[in-house]
Amino acid sequence: MGTFAIVGVIALAGCVPMRPNVDPLQMTVQDGEVVFRWCGPTTAPMRALRISFRVQDDANEHVRALAGTGDFTLEHGAEVSISQPPAGVTVEASTPIVVSDHPTYVFFNTGESRRNLNGVEATLHADSLTRWQENEWLTTSGATVKGDCTARPE
């Protein structure tokens, strides 16, 4: 019975619950820069923002694009980027997101502190960031929409 309990605990330890990727964040490229748009209701006040990315190329490196702290919210329809973070965010480190033909993952996280990123949690995956058309946005579901936050996936 003791062996069964240990095996059960080990099996359950591998089942780490993950939050679904459903936060209403969208991403596009405007004038060579990645831009994000919040399409949910105004968020509760937050104190930390972290944006990172990974381009699937030879380097395959995970890069922190922005780290910042301060009092801020994301309002419905708000657009933010590495060069234009939300009002109230003091940027501690920034690196532009590489716009390339390679598949790219972008991770957008907010929260109460740098150690407690429990707010917006979104991962966006693009096969290429160089093929975006004007006013075309990628959603966390992988669908693209054209227009404002009320647009439906094509």
Give domain limits for the chain. 21-146
Architecture of domain 21-146: Sandwich (2.60)
Tens of pLDDT, residue by residue over 9-29, are: 434 444 434 455 667 899 999
% of the chain with per-residue pLDDT over 70: 83
Q: Is the pTM of this model over 0.85?
A: no
> E-strand spans in the chain?
25-30, 33-38, 46-55, 62-72, 79-81, 90-94, 104-111, 121-126, 136-139, 144-146
